[in-house]
Amino acid sequence: MKLKVFRYDGESGKGGKSGKFHYDSFEIESGPGMTVLSALFKIQEELDDSLAFRYSCRGAVCGSCGMLINKVPRLACRTQVEYLLKGEGQVKLRPFPGMEETVSWDPEEEVLVEPLPNLAKIKDLIVDMDKFFKFYRAVEPTFKPASKAPEKERLMDHEAVSELEKYTNCVLCASCVGACPISGKKGDEGEGEEAKGEIKEFLGPAALAKLYRFHIDPREADDDSRLLLANDKSGWWGCEFNANCKAVCPKGVPPILGIGKARREVQKLGKEPK
Amino acid sequence: MGGEETESGYPIHTHDVIIIGAGLTGLRAAIETVDAGLDTAVISKVHPLRSHSVAAQGGMNAALGNAQAGDSWEDHAFDTVKGSDYLADQDAVELMCKNAPGAVIELEHFGTVFSRLEDGRIAQRPFGGGMFPRTCYAADRTGHNILHTLYEQLMGRELEQSSGSKESKESKENKENKENKGSRGNEERKSGGRITFYEEFFVTSLVKSGLSYGEKGPEQGERCVGCTCINLVDRTLHGFSCRALLLATGGFGRLFTRSTNALINTGDGASLALRAGVPLKDMEFVQFHPTTLYGTNILITEGARGEGGYLLNKKNERFMKDYVPKAMELAPRDIVARSIQQEIDECRGFDDKYVLLDLRHLGKDKILERLPGIRLISMDFAGVDPIEEPIPVQPGQHYSMGGISVGNDLATEVPGLYAAGECSCVSVHGANRLGGNSLLETVVFGKLAGQGIGKFLSSSGSGARPGEEDGKADRKAVLEKLSKEAERVKALLARDSGVKMAGLRDELQKLMFESFGVFREGKKMEEGLEKLLKLKSRYPEVYIDNKSAVFNQALIYALELRGLFDIAEAVSRGAIARKESRGSHARTDYPDRDDENFLAHTIYRLEGPGAEGKPGRKVEGKPGIRPEGKPVLEYLPVRLGKFPVKERVY
């Protein structure tokens, strides 16, 4: 089989210039259990040691290796090559920027590997995560307990924990952002507001899921402070319910559900933005 | 980035404290130093949330007594000491176990979502070698939950420091409100603390400076004053100048072919310390986890057995009955790993490679609630749904009990240099670590390291702010090291032929697993060391084709490989010299524990040429050790305590 890999020369792309890119095809012997990540390592070790990609745990828990594989954002470490060649596990997605055909490939013979869309490219499969984490920080992702710390743990019931777990399972791999048709688009307010330090681009599914996680934490204040932090088009109201986020999440996190629930809560409070 | 200045073309960053490594230990220490008002930098070769701590599954031990009343820190300490095969230092174990309940509660107060009992308290499950169900957990994603929590805490501090200037705008009422809520309970936070992350920076060396602030002469006054790094994004070299430096770089699992560890676990910190003249302790004690997924060696948590999972051989027998009939699957890791290996070696495994871990009898609901991550791992990486089929497992390297030699204050021999977490050896794990004690170690000793550094840097401590002259000398030392490191990198990049990096690394990993694996034997290890030294002698010829400046990962692998060789030699020399079996160190030629000769820690250091090294010899503190120093072994007595040394029976 072949791995068709997006190559981007980061050096020519410095200083805002758009760098040169092309695709390289690598012939690889695939065996049972070979993942896209192990195929990439094989290329690095045997064929081309200049290929660049992020990695760490190789066990689908660290979130390093989110990339676009056969036009679907996935973790390279948990995606089996043979599985793809057999055409299994296809994910139906609404159109998003990365889906556009940029190169032809034969899904029965080849696996197409590209960097995550909606984030600036640095080199080959490595994207700049600064914006992703800027939006993460924008939702103030720090636990703010409602009461002074008791001597022992605060009590929580099972239901609260299992509802929270849906969102705390996020590994921040940015697959959802890569698949989101809204992420990467500029918001209504445009450049002028940005100059004042306000982020107007859609915060994206991962950041909003994180915000929702804190909102529903029963140990935090039962008020609307978390809800109102994203009460505009860059937040809850930017989502158009394409559901790509939930479909691609390797950890089963449903940002779209959290966003929908947050909106209904805001509506109930009568604080919907105009 | 705070305190940046450029001299001779290299950026030099100045901070009070530098922490290398952003896993649980590094982040917990950073919270402490920031809250002590110190300007703290965290350097990591990956984004903090990609650190290997994120992969910890089963949980963290603490005698909360939630799941079963009657547990105490003393029982926890006894289990730990017995589990360590009496090699752990008992005062260190006491320190850890006493601090355990507070550490778990603190994490809960920081926001970690732990799994709960019916009454809402933190749930606990049984783990191997424990008298009580003592392991607090967040399903089977405990490390993930805690690492994200600690990072989130630091995000809060970062936000406060960046909005510090805006603070006057905030209404007073609002501020008071915030203080009342106080996310840290009763503890006071000093102002002025700062946190800066240097992500995707690879540390290439530590910097020492020979000048002292105090009355000590310059020779004894060598302090750690910084480090040198490569920024992965553009391959630029950066210098860091600091008053205290903490190594929190994790373990060295990637020294072995089969390991549960993340691919980034190359033991960088141990090698950095060794080359800075600091000894390593007990490096031969390497933990092999009994249940790693056949094929990829991804960890299958001990919690799976804690929840009631069975181990089966190909005759469909729960073979643990033949080894440890009482404890069965919940004997400590070293014992279960050896039992599995023996089953495989004696042809009772499957394909002579693995045995089965059967969870089916737990039922779908329990598996989905308590072990959802294990189910996903089994399905994703082995195509097996544990609800329907047993999981194929085999032993694999998992943890390094040994590490950089530190005391209970986490300080090394070099003033200003600290180490904590898996890269260090206090020692709380001795010859075998109990499951659930490593997460505990990270947060307890991460915090203590932060406090120790705070004390060291306080106005009364010996690391008080340097005068202008000393500060200059420190930065000069950083610059000198930078130009040396630049030469080393340049030479590596200039080589166009020689030995391929990947091939050499593969050979090393295979050799270490074969010669220094679950079972060890004198002659085999001697031959292994000989081969190792041959491989090591080829390292200077390593070349890479990649000459790119942007994300040159080949260059990083080549630099990591030098460190792996340093560690490999420490592991193998320690293992050969220890002529006994204790904990994870199981020798077929010396099957018994020998307390008379080996109830002692192995100390491994590099000395300048001409120094004679023989066990038990006292070595004077020697500054200025040359990087290619001669390996020397010594032994340090174990600090015993209330638990008398006994035979270890389960």
Mean pLDDT of A178-197: 66
Q: What share of residues in chain B are helix, strand, coil (percent, to 5)?
A: 40, 20, 40
CA distance A8 to A51: 9
Among B380, B509, B543, B555, pick the best mutation site for testing chain A contact (most A Cβ within 10 A): B380
Query: Which stretches does DSSP call E strand in B444-540?
Result: 499-500, 519-520
Tokens of B350: 């499957």
Using CA coordinates, name the residue in chain A closest to B266.
A56
Say if CB B34 and CB B157 are below 8 A apart.
Answer: yes
A56/B183 CB distance under 8 A: no
The DSSP symbol for B350 reads B
B296-313 tens-digit pLDDT: 999 999 999 999 999 999
Most distant pair of Cα atoms in chain B: their distance: 74
Query: Other CB atoms closer than 10 Å to residue B56's CB: what's the count?
Result: 26
Mean pLDDT of A108-132: 96
For helices B553-577 and B468-494, give the axis angle rounded to 10 degrees.
100
Q: Give the residue among B412, B404, B409 at the shortest CA–CA distance from B621.
A: B412
Tokens of B20: 């290398």
Say if CB A255 and CB A215 are below 8 A apart.
Answer: no
pLDDT tops 70 at residue A183: yes
Any idea which of A15-19, A175-179, A259-263, B247-251 has the lowest mean pLDDT?
A15-19
B82-127 tens-digit pLDDT: 999 999 999 999 999 999 999 999 999 999 999 999 999 999 999 9
Tokens of B580: 């006994």
CA angle B486, B489, B493 (to 5 degrees): 135
Among B550, B552, B555, B561, pick the best mutation site for testing chain A contact (most A Cβ within 10 A): B550
For helices B522-538 and B553-577, give the axis angle rounded to 10 degrees.
150
Question: Within its chain, how far is the Cα of A142 from the centroid?
Answer: 20
Residue located via tokens 């809520």 = B181
> Which pLDDT value is given to residue A32?
82
Q: Which residues of chain B does A161 touch, with a Cβ-Cβ cutoff of 8 Å?
A: 113-116
Give the distance from residue B381's alpha carbon to the nearest chain A alpha carbon, in angstroms. 7
> Which pLDDT value is given to residue B1?
43
- Option in A141, A145, A172 nearest B183 (CB): A145
Q: Give the residue among B67, B550, B341 at the shortest CA–CA distance from A123.
A: B550
For helices B90-110 and B437-457, give the axis angle rounded to 10 degrees.
90
Give the distance from residue B266's alpha carbon to the nearest chain A alpha carbon, in angstroms. 11
Give the pairing type, strands B223-231 and B201-209.
antiparallel
pTM of the model: 0.93
Say if CB B432 and CB B333 are below 8 A apart.
Answer: yes
Q: H or E segment at B293?
A: strand B286-293
Which residues, in sequence order, are bridge partners of residue B310? Answer: B358
**What's the CATH fold of domain B290-396?**
Flavocytochrome C3; Chain A, domain 1 (3.90.700)
B118/A158 CB distance under 8 A: yes
Q: H or E segment at B476?
A: helix B468-494
CATH class of A2-127: alpha beta
B152/A142 CB distance under 8 A: yes
Say if CB B432 and CB B128 are below 8 A apart.
Answer: no
Among B121, B236, B263, pick the best mutation site for testing chain A contact (most A Cβ within 10 A): B263
Give the distance from residue A55's alpha carbon to the nearest chain B alpha carbon, in angstroms. 7
* In B307-397, alpha helices (H): 333-345, 364-370, 372-382
Residue located via tokens 């910890």 = B56
Mean pLDDT of A9-31: 79
pLDDT tops 70 at residue A12: no
CA distance B200 to B202: 6
CA distance B499 to A32: 30
B262/A122 CB distance under 8 A: no
Question: Within its chain, how far is the Cα of A270 from the centroid?
Answer: 31
CA distance B404 to B423: 6
Kindly give, in sequence order, each residue whose CB lies less than 8 Å from that of residue B638, ignoring residues fewer than 6 positions away: B86, B87, B88, B89, B430, B599, B600, B601
CA angle B227, B228, B232 (to 5 degrees): 130
Give the distance from residue A160's alpha carbon to the nearest chain B alpha carbon, in angstroms. 10
Kindly give, in sequence order, each residue whose CB lies less than 8 Å from that of residue B177, ignoring residues fewer than 6 positions away: none
CATH superfamily for domain A130-269? Alpha-helical ferredoxin (1.10.1060.10)
A140/B145 CB distance under 8 A: no
A157/B116 CB distance under 8 A: yes
B148/A144 CB distance under 8 A: no
Tokens of A143: 């636990």
Peptide bond into B427 cis (omega under 30): yes
Give the pairing type, strands B355-358 and B417-419.
unpaired
Using CA coordinates, name the residue in chain A closest to B551.
A52
Domain limits of chain A? 2-127, 130-269
Cα-flanking dihedrals φ and ψ of residue A10, to 5°? -60, -30
B262/A56 CB distance under 8 A: yes
The pLDDT confidence band at residue A145, using thresholds 50, 70 and 90, is very high
- Option in B50, B145, B295 nearest A168 (CB): B145
**What percentage of chain A reaches a pLDDT higher than 70?**
92
Q: Which residues of chain B does A164 touch, with a Cβ-Cβ cutoff of 8 Å?
A: 113
> Which pLDDT value is given to residue B167?
46
Query: Other CB atoms closer than 10 Å to residue A92's CB: what's the count?
Result: 8
Q: State the count of interchain CB pairs (< 8 A) between A and B.
A: 181
pLDDT tops 80 at residue A193: no
pLDDT tops 90 at residue A274: no
Q: Give the residue among B257, B278, B589, B573 at the shortest CA–CA distance from B410.
A: B278
The DSSP symbol for A47 reads I
| Catalytic machinery residues of B | 333
CA distance B18 to B29: 10
Residue ranges of chain B with per-residue pLDDT less than 70: 1-7, 164-188, 211-221, 608-628
A137/B155 CB distance under 8 A: yes
A60/B549 CB distance under 8 A: no
Q: Which amino acid is at A35?
A: T
| A2-127 and A130-269, same CATH topology | no
Give the pairing type, strands A121-123 and A126-127.
antiparallel
Q: Which residues of chain B does A123 touch, with a Cβ-Cβ cutoff of 8 Å?
A: 548, 550-551
DSSP B12-61: EEE-SEEEE--SHHHHHHHHHHHHTT-EEEEEESS-GGGSGGGG--S-EE
Mean pLDDT of A144-173: 96
Q: Which residues of chain B does A151 touch, with a Cβ-Cβ cutoff of 8 Å?
A: 105
- Option in B148, B263, B376 nearest A55 (CB): B263
Among A34, A61, A126, A133, pick the best mutation site for testing chain B contact (most B Cβ within 10 A): A61
pLDDT tops 80 at residue A130: yes
CA distance B443 to B27: 9
> Which pLDDT value is given to residue B176?
42
CA distance B544 to B557: 10
> Which pLDDT value is given to residue B193?
94
Residue located via tokens 């994603």 = B141
